[in-house]
Amino acid sequence: MIQEFDIAVVGGGAAGLMAAVAAAQECNKRHIHAKIAVLEANTRVGKKLLATGNGRCNLTNMGISVSHYHGDTKACVPLFEQYSPQNIIYIFASLGLLCKEQDEGRVYPYNAQASAVLDIFRFQLKSLCVETICDFAVNMVQKTDFGFKISSASDTVLAKRLIFASGGMAYPQLGSNGSGFQILTTLGHSCTKLFPALIQVKTEPRRAKPLKGARSAASATLIANGKPVKTVDGEVQFTENGLSGICIFELSRLVGELGTNNKIEINLDLMPEYTEQQIFGMLKHIGETLNSLPADELLNGYLNKLVGREIVRQALPHLPEFACNLKSGELAAVARMIKNFRFAVTGTMTWKDAQITAGGVPLDEVDEDMQSRCCPGLYLAGELLNIDGDCGGFNLHWAWSTGIASGCAAAKSLIEK
């Protein structure tokens, strides 16, 4: 028997779960009995949520502003006015989740457990009588007189309203494989270029490999065709394939955007608080005072040991035994390399390593309620739209905001009808 619903939500991720709860609450508030279902391809809802924020779920940021977003950012201004971080924290508090602000405005559940966020959604879905249908990988949607016919390989449901929140392409091992984009095309939508973002950057292997496992504070600058484009400070992690860490994640979007046709490099300034001249002066002092210090240990007291040795090795192909034998020109070359530790970028890692998708359905294809302009009765929410945020809770904030907006609007449209 084909089940009929008033509202079906495709995707039980952050945006879809919030949309379903918001829709059910809106219907309750207006004393309307509506049948609502979440259709999820995975065996369980919210798998990705559990992986967010290293298992702690950085669910919003006190510094939400369009400057932290990329894509069709203009269109999200009214949404962020309506759904400020304070509002999102208040909404979570009303659902039973206490939150706490940490460093750099990042907000987490008070108990620092992502599972708490999923638990409150599971509880809400149950108490609001929202049906959760798992193992339902939607592969086709047809517009009908009833509303929508939504099919998987083995099942079909009908719904008067449809909220699409199937995510992007990032981290497909947790369910979001981009299938939503193809389905939405059949309903009249388009999709911009898609590329992985908030991801490790691959560099020329000879440079990266010897440093594998090391971490170092740095000011990282992306340079395209010789011109500096963006600088972010933070901790750089050196990996087998290249560079990682939050500051590199922030630069990775540009790598995807510019593509490999451009010459892209990342420059690390490993002592951003000091000028090259100051560093030279300090190294000269070491050379003059520490007679028995081996030359390759020159930077042991300054930088991560592995990084320091590699800098000395690369700056000085002919290394004397002791630091005191280094000439002024050689010390100047080391100081220069500390400020200009450069990596040729060869691309980013793959979708399965990416935290988010850059690109998606253009925002001008939905109205301010997230309703499709191409297909009335269809609402879009979350990562599948052409907006992506920086690291720090900005992406989940987008998922909650669009989830609430679409859920409330879909419910209201039933009532208005």
Ligand X SMILES: Cc1cc2nc3c(=O)[nH]c(=O)nc-3n(C[C@H](O)[C@H](O)[C@H](O)COP(=O)(O)OP(=O)(O)OC[C@H]3O[C@@H](n4cnc5c(N)ncnc54)[C@H](O)[C@@H]3O)c2cc1C
Supply the minimum distance, in Å, between the C-beta of residue 402 and ligand X. Answer: 8
Task: Work out how close the CB of 49 gets to ligand X at its nearest, in angstroms, rounded to a whole number.
Answer: 6
243 vs 354, beta carbon nearer ligand X: 354
**Which one, 179 or 241, has the nearer CB to ligand X?**
179
Element (H, E) at 38: strand 36-39
Of the pair 135, 369, the CB lying nearest ligand X is at: 135
Measured distance CA(356)–CA(383) in Å, rounded: 8
74 exposure class (CB count in 10 Å sphere: 0-12, 13-18, 19+): exposed
Return the number of the residue (165 or 375) whose C-beta is nearest ligand X: 165
Smallest separation (angstroms) from ligand X to the CB of 373: 20
**218-247 burial: b if 16+ Cβ within 10 Å, else e:** bbbbbbbeeeeeebbebebbbbebbbbbbb
Crossing angle of the two packed helices 114-127 and 14-29, in degrees rounded to 10: 40
Residue 88 C-beta: closest distance to ligand X, Å: 11
Distance CA 102, CA 112 (A): 10
Query: Which stretches of the chain bind ligand X, using CB under 6 A?
Result: 10-16, 39-42, 47-48, 51-53, 57-58, 136-138, 165-167, 170-171, 175-176, 179-180, 355-356, 382-383, 393-396, 399
**Closest Cα partner for 337 from 312, 306, 318?**
312
**Sequence letter at residue 139:** N
Which residue lies nearer to ligand X by CB, 348 or 355? 355
| Closer CB to ligand X, 11 or 308, in the complex | 11
Residue 40 Cβ vs ligand X, minimum distance, rounded to whole Å: 5
Q: How far apart are CA 51 and CA 181, in angstroms?
A: 23
Q: Which two tokens stand for residue 281?
A: 């002066």
Nearer to ligand X, 304 or 401 (CB): 401
* Residue 282: alpha-carbon gap to chain centroid: 40
Give the residue among 82, 16, 87 at the shortest CA–CA distance from 382.
16
Rounded least distance, CB 81 to ligand X, Å: 19
Minimum CB separation of residue 233 from ligand X in Å reads: 20
CB of 357 to ligand X, least distance (A): 8
**Residue closer to ligand X (CB basis): 118 or 286:** 118
Q: Which is nearer to ligand X, 180 or 377 (CB)?
A: 180
Q: Which residue has the closest beta carbon to ligand X?
A: 13
Instruction: Specify the amino acid at residue 282.
Output: M
Closest CA to 7 of 399, 27, 15, 54: 27
User: Residue 147 Cβ, how far from ligand X at the closest point, in Å?
Assistant: 17
Residues whose CB is less than 8 angstroms from the CB of residue 104 and which lie 6 or more positions away in sequence, other chains included: 61, 63, 392
Contact partners, residue 417, CB within 8 Å, separation at least 6: none
Residue with tokens 């939500």: 9
